[in-house]
Amino acid sequence: MRIVFLGDVFGKTGRQALSRELPQIRRQYKPDAIIVNGENAAHGMGITTNIAKEFFALGVDVITTGNHIWDQREIIPYLEKEERVLRPINFPEGAPGNGVIDYRLQNGQTIRVVNVMARLFMDALDDPFAAMNAVLKDNPLRTKNAHAVVVDVHGEATSEKMVMGMMLDGRVSFVVGTHTHIPTADTRILEKGTAYQTDAGMCGDYNSVIGVTYETAAPRFIKKYANPRMAPQDGGVGTVCGTFVETDDKTGLAVKAEPIRLGPELIETRK
């Protein structure tokens, strides 16, 4: 299976970059599945119903999110009926929506996508490691119900995401981190066959502070106060970042893992 995962889409610039680069991604990587983290797609804060539908119209198969999932309140009833939009699986019982989907692709295979949120420097959610063990117990890799398993670990600390990757090595196809908006240079296949990248990066304007303007981000660090309110860096061309993974159909494990960077602001991986 050929899988493309694209990191946090940030604001209007990120949405436009995604729309612009998806045709190139299809030509270059010929993906069977496209997964996108969309938790910052609505002006940098959450995702709306219309934006989710826009992503699906572009050919996105599954949308993952993170700690900003509730920022646009209108998404809550949509989560209850649209299983392809995930929220972290380790929110407390009773939270709207779901954190895992078994999605049947056009090629007849099924991909299991799991969205989980880390806890260090994040909200105090339920144990993400226990949550993942429970999910894999119910539906392990290499069964007819899961030809490939992709895990989006939404978290701040690289160490916590790396522990998750190593714990799941050999048990899933791909573990990828989101949330920090900077692509890490550790795209690789772990010892037991699981593809891994600590953070996929952002789809947005990299001439910014992780997606927001310098003018609204800098006072938090230089002057230690939070005014003015942070605003997305919109108006630029934007860069799309993520990861391409190819799996062995017999084992479900990774045979190839490559970073994706398409756009003017970072060194590209365009072929």
Active-site amino acid positions: 68
Closest by Cα among 24, 31, 34 to 1: 31
Query: Which residue's structure tokens are 């407390």?
Result: 92
Task: State the residue for tokens 């048990």.
Answer: 171
CA separation for the pair 110, 147 (Å, rounded): 6
**Residue 238 Cα distances to 200, 243, 269, angstroms:** 15, 17, 15
Task: Say how far apart CA 120 and CA 161 lie, in whole Å.
Answer: 10
Residue found under tokens 């605003």? 231
CA–CA distance from 43 to each of 202, 253, 267 (Å)?
A: 14, 36, 26
- Evaluate the CA torsion angle 130, 134, 140, 145 in order and state its sign: negative
Computed over its alpha carbons, how large is the radius of gyration of the chain?
17
Four-CA torsion 213, 34, 26, 193, nearest 10 degrees: 110
Query: Maximum CA pair distance of the chain?
Result: 56
Q: For the sheet with 2-6, list strands across it.
A: 62-64, 33-37, 2-6, 240-247, 254-262
